[in-house]
Each structure stands twice: as C-alpha cells, then as structure tokens.
Amino acid sequence: MIESDRAERYRTRMQRKKEVIDEAIARANREQGLLLILTGNGKGKSSSAFGMLARALGHDMRVGVAQFIKGRSDTGEEAFFRKQNDVIWHVLGEGFTWDTQNLQRDTETAQRGWIIVQEMLCDPSINLIVLDELTYPLKFGWLDLTAVLNDLKNRPTMQHVVITGRGAPDALCEIADTVTEMTDVKHAFRNGVQAQKGIDL
C-alpha cells in the first residue's frame, strides 16, 4: 500500500515534470552555431572540449583544434584525434609562461597562432573549432581582445566554437551562448597524485 503510494506519487511528479520539460524543449527551436566558454579552476575544461570533438565526429562533422600555451605533443588527446579523419590539429604554444619566461616570444607565438585560427574562423566547412587555453593569451594581453571578439562574431553562422581556460574575460563571456564555470571542489594533484595519463594528459 505504502509502496504503491510511492509509485503513484513518482508517476504524478514525473508526469508534471514532463509537461514542463516538453514546453521548454518546444520553446528552444532555434539552430545556430554556438560559442561556448569553459572556464574556472576546476578539472574538466579541455577534456570537455575534446568530448565535444568526439560527439561532432560521431555526427560526421569536420573539426579543428588550436592548442595555445601547450608546447608538448605527447598528449593522449593529440595522439588519438590525429588518427581520426576530419580533424585539423594545431599545437600553437611553446610551453607554459613560466617555462618560456619571455614576454616578447610568448606574444609573437600567440599572434602567429591567431593567424592560423583566423583561417579556420573563415572556413564554413569546419563545423566545430576548439580554442584550447585561449583565455591565457587574452589575459596576458598577447592578443588584442577586441580583434579576437570581432573575428569570433564574424565567423560562419553555423560554426560552433569552444574556448577553454581559466579566467575568461567578461567581454568574451558576454558574447558567448553558453558559459560554464568549473569549480575545483577537490583535486587529486593537491593530495600528492601526479598528472595521470588518460585523465590529465
């Protein structure tokens, strides 16, 4: 009796929920290329962008990736996605700022990188572009924020762009369609665990 009450309440609640959700889905009827920002200090920003690459490839879309900052080419993501069809992959960094310690070189590297990104942002045959760790060149002033925002706004209408990195500038979030702030509640690294293959690299 109590069990059947519980089942009935569940059914009623879910029926009501379905109405609300069906209405929301009916309202969301527009298709467009999205600009997504994945920011904050938590683990999961770049991996989320790579997961969207996998989803897009599953729908036979063409994808492009530009990795700023990162200079290494031994990551799992690069090894894996370079083997796939329809993937353009650029490693545009020369290592972390604390490794190069050279403002002029970092600036020039980022600016050379942005020219390559501009080409992808003009190519409507690329359905999804990941700009991994783009927030740092913006934060350090290596790239002109206004110019970057303009290039993003003028991209093909149906092209999706995903930008990752800590401290996304407000002006970037303002023009974005979806913004997720990833909060670091707990991280294995702080507890003495080194970066793990398959998880962090």
Assess contact for 129 and 120: CB atoms under 8 A.
yes
DSSP lists the bridge partners of residue 63 as 87, 128
How far apart are CB 112 and a copy of itself at their closest, in Å?
A: 18
Distance CA 194, CA 45 (A): 18
Q: Within a 10 A sphere around the Cβ of 56, how many other Cβ atoms?
A: 19
How far apart are CB 92 and a copy of itself at their closest, in Å?
A: 19
How far apart are CB 176 and a copy of itself at their closest, in Å?
A: 7
Q: What angle do CA 21, 27, 30 make, to 5 degrees?
A: 125
How far apart are CB 147 and a copy of itself at their closest, in Å?
A: 20
Query: Toward a copy of itself, which CB reaches closer, 61 or 116?
Result: 61
Half-sphere exposure of 190 (CA within 13 A, CB side): 7
How far apart are CB 108 and a copy of itself at their closest, in Å?
A: 12
Q: What angle do CA 87, 117, 93 make, to 5 degrees?
A: 85
Query: Toward a copy of itself, which CB reaches closer, 60 or 146?
Result: 60
Assess contact for 68 and 97: CB atoms under 8 A.
no
Query: Toward a copy of itself, which CB reaches closer, 80 or 122?
Result: 80
Query: Toward a copy of itself, which CB reaches closer, 146 or 170?
Result: 170
Structure tokens at 200: 């962090």
